[in-house]
Amino acid sequence: AADEAQLTQVYLVTGGCGFIGKKIVELLSQQDYIKEVRVFDSGAREEEKIIPGKTRASSCIIGDIRDYNLLLAAMRGVHVVIHTAAIVDYRNTVPFWEMKAVNVGGTENVLRACCVLNIPYVVYTSSIAAVGPNTLCEPMRRGNEDTKYSGEVELPYGKTKAMAEKLVFEANGKNNGGKLTTCIIRANTVYGEKATFLRDLYLFAKAGNDVLDYLEPENTERNSTYVGNGAWMHVLAARHLQLKPDLLAGQVYYCYDDTPRRGFLVTHQLLSSVDPSIRLGSRIPYWKMWLIIHLHRIIKALLYPFWKPQPFLNLPLLNTIVTTFSYETDKAFRHFGYKPLFTWQESKQRTVQWLKAAAGNEAQKVLALF
């Protein structure tokens, strides 16, 4: 096992300006054992080039994960890579080939560069969507990392994450002058500050007379994790991948904390804490939503290219929403001492605080139009 003194190292976070990536960078920059945190992200803005924190040097490189040569240059002198960069698209707004080029091709580039530069450690951010639900919509209720679940993955995004996972598993233990050690963290629905889907749901509820309707049957379970806890799990995994490589190498870990598993109730709690007038409505029956999705597709096809509507719910996403897919695990605690940094109450409070400000800003923009 590596000695604690050897952990004065350079970390690189791909996608470090993204939702979870930014929080990982923030936590890494507070760790005394890290000398430098680098960010590689295509969406970085000029003001994000320097990251405040305790670390002696933190910098941001603007670049596309598909650009191997640029990535290779950014990775020189790096000891640990936390690879979060991905196109996260549940609504099929991005062509599959493009999502595959980033999520699979980008991961291939990271692993290839690690082998060329002898970078020994990679933590990969995957998704529960890489596992399921499958096209038969078979549920998984409170499984764990060892639960056997098979069949073709329903969501196109999930397919790309499953392909990338395979590459990360295969890369573990590869030698090119030094051994590459990898592990995978499977995120789920991640919420918190800057979770734009919550802001959109809030505005949607306000537009619908303060009523939040939902699609999930009452007994449906899905895990959600606060962004700060998900990020903390990455920080600990990256550190212990070095301290206990024999234990963590080639392993997969589900993200978890004490957020309740009932998705629509969590959403309602968050939104009603921002605005107490928002009340939980009724469940929209599956058949009705199925019909609306198909009608929307027909109308869109008939009116294209004159009408290009906002992204709408699609059948794979509807099936994912209504299918129980949950897990119960303490593997991250057993392997590297992970405990959530934030309780459900603290996570809720921090999210609500941001949401109030974000919703207020959006409301002001709408008023400015009139």
* 97 lies in some domain: yes
Residue with tokens 């936390």: 82
Residues 6+ apart with CB under 8 A from 168: 107, 111, 122, 124, 126, 182, 184
Nearest to 193 by CA among 62, 307, 348: 348
Helices 263-274 and 196-207: angle between axes, nearest 10 degrees: 70
Total count of domains within the chain: 1
Length, in residues, of the chain? 370
CA atoms within 13 A on the CB side of 340: 20
pLDDT at 6: 55
The whole-chain average pLDDT of the chain stands at: 90
What pLDDT is recorded for position 370? 37
Q: pLDDT, tens digit, for every residue of 136-172?
A: 999 999 999 999 999 999 999 999 999 999 999 999 9
Q: Which residues pair with 185 in a beta bridge?
A: 125, 253
110 within some domain? yes
Question: Cα torsion at 100, 101, 102, 104 (round to 10°)?
Answer: 60
In a domain, 206, yes or no: no
Within a domain: 304: no
State the catalytic residue, choosing from 124, 157, 214, 327. Answer: 157
Q: Which domain holds residue 166?
A: 4-192+224-260+325-343
Euclidean distance between CA atoms 183 and 165, whole angstroms: 9
What pLDDT is attached to residue 57?
54
Residue 306 lies in a domain: no
In-domain check, residue 286: no
Q: Is 304 a catalytic residue?
A: no
- What is the rounded CA–CA span in Å between residue 103 and residue 84? 9
The parts of the chain modelled with pLDDT lower than 70 are 1-8, 44-57, 175-177, 361-370
Residue 66 is assigned to a structural domain of this protein: yes
Asked if the structure places residue 232 within a domain, the reply is yes
**Domain at 138, CATH number:** 3.40.50.720
Question: Cα dihedral angle (39, 45, 47, 48), rounded to 10 degrees?
Answer: -20
